[in-house]
Structure 1
Amino acid sequence: MPDEEREYDAIVIGGGPAGLAAAMWLARYRRSVRLFDAQDPRNKETWAVHGYFGIDDPPPLELRRIGRQQATGAGAELEAAVVKTVEGAIDDFRVTIADDRVFRSRRLVLATGLKDIKPEVAGFDDFYGTSIWHCPECDGPTIAGKKVGILGWGESIAKYALYFLTWTDDLTVLTHSHPKDMSDEALKTLGEYGIGVNQKAITALEGTDGRLERVVFHDGTSEEFPFLFFHVASGPGSTFPLDMGCEMDDEGIVQVDNNFQTSIPGVYAAGDITPGTRLAIRAAFEGTRAAIGVHKSLIPEEEKVTQERSA
């Protein structure tokens, strides 16, 4: 039987830690599962995934390779493919991929992640992932005691900058000519901790061999910064949760229950698109929890022991 004529217990969309963990655990529960991965991970530029228990700083693509090996070894089916549309309802979902093949499943797991909006600054891509990052929890320990620039603007950048005091107190907010747009309280707090605010427009980022050395400003001046973090904006990696009517917040983060089921019956979500910190190890945990939720939802009622039946 061609794959697209089968009905799977679950289809997983997204091949990062959340999606791969979900696929692996669903297969371990002897559920038929197929995972589709567009192969465009959010952290592909980063040199390593930090703090992942049991593995010492693997490159992101290596971690995914290990995850794919484990998932297929457990019996999951994986395919590199872009999903075009997701339709249907619980017990009868239809997933159409780029070549117009349609796959059916009883449950869905959305693990489509987030995408970061990067600032448009000359030289940014030369250092992104080696000395420019976006995740404090992931790369904060790397810059302990070092001088760090925080690129971004608005009220949220003050909170973001203060978070880095966990690792260093040599911090400067770089607004890249944007208005500070911070409350008096935020500015006062930054000042109390010695965090400066530089509003000059940035002309370029310079360095050698992928290592940032300095920020060059529009007025011809420059300042040495060995590291930058940025916080501009991020958004959902796909529109599927919105298309399906999942309950979401203003930033596109999907609300889930204790079993990681969304507000749409039969649709589960895990990883960066759900509330919480953006850590790979957390995403894998959530993928596992979502898989358990899916598995339990597929157990026939007659196999369950309820209080009434056991009394």
Structure 2
Amino acid sequence: MTYGGMYDVIVIGGGPAGLSGAMWLGRYRRKVRVFDAEDPRNAVTWAVHGYPGLDDISPQDLRKRLKQQAVDAGAEYEPGVVLSIEGGQDDFKVMMEDGRVFGARRILIATGLRDIVPEIPGFDDFYGTSIWHCPDCDGPSIIDCKVGVIGWGRSIAAYCMYMLTFTQNLTVLTHGHPPDLTPEASDALARWNIPVREDVIERLEGEGGQLQRIVFHGGATEDFDAMFFHIASGPGSSFAAELGCEADEDGILEIDKDYQTTVPGVYAAGDIVPGSRLAIRAAAEGVRAAVGIHKSLIPDDRRLQPKSEPPKADAG
């Protein structure tokens, strides 16, 4: 076991949240190190949309820019896999896959989410170019198109209601699973003329990354311009759970106004905390978490107590 040194903050995750947080921690002259497994959720996506000042930049180029800014600000960056985190505030121990151990006063978890991706032949040929999971990110790409939505859980109807922002030509595809729809959900789909097709999908066909049709078990086909899927997602790492951070049933962490979790010294930002799943939002939250961490590290002898108010006179 090799000791790698003590840091003010160790950031786990090198996406927009982690790198933006690291950049601002560097600006605050904190000793910060980023560990990134370099396996991002949006790796297959051709572009990050709606990021102010950047026109459809690729996820790889965005991370490259953010990484350079973080390093230029003084942060250290290393591709590496973290195995576990132990200890508590001011004395965390971060264990690496290669046996090294690093100390940290604070931890910023920015490991995002992982999606359950349907196992369908041909899916990978279109994932990220005409098949997506995030309507906020890619909905504007399919205005008035014919879109299939893969899903069968209780929230699939609500997902389709959200998708109506972009197109009313939707079909729910359960891929052989019985749909888990409440009467209210079924009524909503019927009201908007959204059919539910339960056939097993045999394969997907198209050219040059553009989906053209779905072939169902038995040979039937149906043409589509694009697809979205909404099955399930979960935390990109188990670190928060192992540390005892409170989370909802989907693994989304509870945080305070400074982005600190319910475990002192452990902060979180990005897709792992409540809110939309946008790159710009993740970057902003990384900055907000960095500000909260920096404030928590200011020593007591630099904190001025608020001026006490004089006692109020009795009404009598």
- Which TM class, normalised by the smaller chain length? over 0.9
Partner of 2:313: none
Q: Which runs of 5+ in 1 are unaligned?
A: none
Question: How much does 1:230 deviate?
Answer: 0.1
Q: Which runs of 5+ in 2 are unaligned?
A: 311-316
Inter-partner Cα distance in structure 1 for 2:276 and 2:243: 24
Amino acid at match of 1:107: R
**Are the counterparts in 1 of residues 199 and 216 from structure 2 also a CA contact under 8 Å?**
yes
Amino acid at match of 2:137: C
Question: How much does 1:156 deviate?
Answer: 0.8
TM-score, normalisation: structure 2? 0.96
Deviations 1:242-282 (A, max 9, x none): 10000011111111000000000000000001011111111
Deviations 1:188-223 (A, max 9, x none): 111111111111111001011111100111121100
Partner of 1:60: 59
Partner of 2:24: 25
How many residue pairs are counted as aligned between the two chains? Answer: 309
Question: How much does 1:4 deviate?
Answer: 4.2
Inter-partner Cα distance in structure 2 for 1:226 and 1:252: 33
Matches within 5 A, 1:198-217: 198-217=197-216
Amino acid at match of 2:170: L
Note the aligned Cα RMSD (angstroms): 1.3
Amino acid at match of 2:185: A
Question: How much does 1:95 deviate?
Answer: 0.5
Amino acid at match of 1:26: L
Partner of 2:118: 119
Question: How much does 1:41 deviate?
Answer: 0.1
SS at match of 1:271: coil
SS at match of 2:164: helix
Amino acid at match of 1:281: I
**Are the counterparts in 1 of residues 4 and 100 from structure 2 also a CA contact under 8 Å?**
no
Deviations 1:61-118 (A, max 9, x none): 1100000010001000000000011111000011111111111010000001101010
Partner of 1:71: 70
Higher percent of residues as helix: 1
Change (3 A) 1:292 1:212: same
Partner of 1:14: 13
Inter-partner Cα distance in structure 2 for 1:130 and 1:216: 19
Structure of higher CA gyration radius: 2
Inter-partner Cα distance in structure 2 for 1:186 and 1:235: 24
Is structure 2 residue 110 aligned with structure 1 residue 105?
no
Query: Runs of 4+ in structure 1 displaced over 6 angstroms?
Result: none
TM-score, normalisation: structure 1? 0.97
Partner of 2:314: none
Question: How much does 1:155 deviate?
Answer: 1.7
Is structure 2 residue 225 aligned with structure 1 residue 219?
no
Inter-partner Cα distance in structure 2 for 1:5 and 1:178: 49
Inter-partner Cα distance in structure 1 for 2:180 and 2:260: 37
Matches within 5 A, 1:149-228: 149-228=148-227
Partner of 1:84: 83
Amino acid at match of 2:279: A
